[in-house]
Amino acid sequence: MKIHVSELSVGDIVLTDIFNSYGLHVLSKGTCLNEQDISKLYNHQIEYVDIEPRSKESFLTEFDELSQEAFHRIKPYYDQAVEGYGEIFHETARSGTIDKKAVQEMVTPLTQHIKQQSDVVNLLLMLNNKDDYTYQHSIEVGMLSYYIAVWTGYKEEEALIIGNAGFLHDIGKCRIDSDILNKTEALTKEEAEEVAKHTIYGYELIRNSLYQYSIATAALQHHERANASGYPFGMPGDKIHPYAKIVAIANEYSTMISARNSQAQRDLLTVLHELHRLSFTELDPTATHTFIAHMIPNFIGKKVVLQTGDVGKIIMTNKDDFFRPLIQIDDRFIDLSTERDLVIKDIYL
């Protein structure tokens, strides 16, 4: 697990060799950190370190009591859903149909528990990592689609359907060669064209499994965009199904915060800013702005790392600029809406 040096503890074990920006070796793989080692990392201006996973008890000390309780309650159901989705993914590839009973057994327990978690930012920070990317992404999009549906005013029964559409939006990828799906470098033109077909494959699989038309259509259209720049048909916003518009927002957000290439990954607040920009050209503005309005208050109290390396906490959001909050660093208060040269690099619990 990669953590900021400010979160290191004596006894953490280094997972890889550590070098500074000049290539000088600082610490060796397998080092059990002591206070002098941690001080050395600060002196060499090392920001993040890969360490071996801590015990659950140690890991949970990073969270406040509410987050610990939520983690204990939700994580088992989340893990079961990710595992269940993997099984459904491979069985669908083999059989050509989706086991609806297995999907409900995967979705229902998790959905029932996330209903009780109002701080979605906490939820994403606790659960998001890079293992089993394809499966976790679909679970995350399902959860976010459900939340967005509720926040935009859908009744519970329909919000659950939209959540299901999010869970199944990428099921068509089971027909894509795994070497292409798992490729971390840029895809060739031919590979990108093949991946784009997952929307059509998903529609076919969902309809063949006797799911309702709206869920299949969300899978088909979740990459369509309001300015007709999307795929597979390049249709304009007034032709895109409302469920697909919600799943598109959830998909964009999850993709950007979960990027497998760490250089492409951005913090949760920066990604909201990007969604806000896209709401004027590509994404549904009403649903996007509703999503942002419900997410922003959840950032208060979260720790941040600025590009300067300073670590602080979000104290207040600015009503005139949601994406540049008031930060407290020790006994200093920094208003990012006026300190325009300062940028948040990372957000964590």
* pLDDT value of residue 265: 57
The two three-digit tokens of residue 40, written as one number: 């050395």
Residues 155 and 187 sit within 8 Å (Cβ to Cβ)? no
* pLDDT value of residue 287: 97
Residue 343 region by backbone torsions, left for phi larger than 0, else alpha for psi between -120 and 50, else beta: beta
* pLDDT value of residue 250: 98
* pLDDT value of residue 59: 42
* pLDDT value of residue 88: 97
* Burial zone of 56 (CB within 10 Å; 0-12 exposed, 13-18 middle, 19+ buried): exposed
Q: What is the mean pLDDT of residues 45-73?
A: 65
Predicted TM-score of the model (pTM): 0.79
* pLDDT value of residue 62: 46
Amino acid at 146: Y
* pLDDT value of residue 72: 75
Residue-range domains of the chain with CATH: 2-54 (3.90.105.10), 58-297 (1.10.3210.10), 300-348 (2.30.30)
At residue 67 the predicted structure's pLDDT band, cuts being 50, 70 and 90, is low
At residue 259 the predicted structure's pLDDT band, cuts being 50, 70 and 90, is low
* pLDDT value of residue 119: 80
At residue 46 the predicted structure's pLDDT band, cuts being 50, 70 and 90, is confident
* pLDDT value of residue 54: 65
The two three-digit tokens of residue 68, written as one number: 């610990």
209 has pLDDT over 80 = yes
Q: How far is CA 53 from CA 1, 35, 335, in A?
A: 6, 19, 35
Q: What is the mean pLDDT of residues 30-38?
A: 77
At residue 20 the predicted structure's pLDDT band, cuts being 50, 70 and 90, is confident
**pLDDT tens, 266-277?**
788 999 999 999
* pLDDT value of residue 121: 86
Identify the residue whose tokens are 């083999």.
94
